[in-house]
Structure 1
Amino acid sequence: MAFTYLLERRKQPLESMNQGDAYEVIFEIHHDDIVDGSPVLTGVVDWQDGVNFYYQQFMDPGEFSAIMACALEAVKAARMMIGERWCQSEPK
């Protein structure tokens, strides 16, 4: 059983705030045994450090810990991506 994650950063305009642009990162958790490539779990980490998870497929209760461990790594990586980009953006 091997779980991996994919990350995608998306820009969120902050029209009501004069702080430049913000970003959110979408992540997907995949299992090697799922041949069609469908994610087991997806989630969003937004610029305010909020995290939302969305279950995509039935999970074996025995796999829950491994999936959450992979999700934790994905969230850590997503926060670093947001932080790097946030520090590079210029305030308006």
Structure 2
Amino acid sequence: MNTRMRIRQVKEVEIEGLGEQIKQARLNCSKSLEQICDEVGVSRTYWYDIEKETLKGALSIENLRKIEQVLSVDFGVTLVGESNA
């Protein structure tokens, strides 16, 4: 019987000013905050923590990509080994 074990790799990077970039993109977007949060799948409180860069943990790359998609922007964040599927 062949079994496989999955291994998780976690890498965190710090991007200076990303919260402010996200805030400015939101302010330049025609969508309401409620609509943005709904499309990204986060609460308003969590969104404000992103903008203020006060998250208790790190922003996941998945959520960053959702934010970019919903706001129609590219913040230029690329992680080594990230799939572009």
Q: TM-score range by the shorter chain?
A: under 0.3
Higher fraction of strand: 1
Higher fraction of helix: 2
Which TM-score applies when normalising by structure 2?
A: 0.27
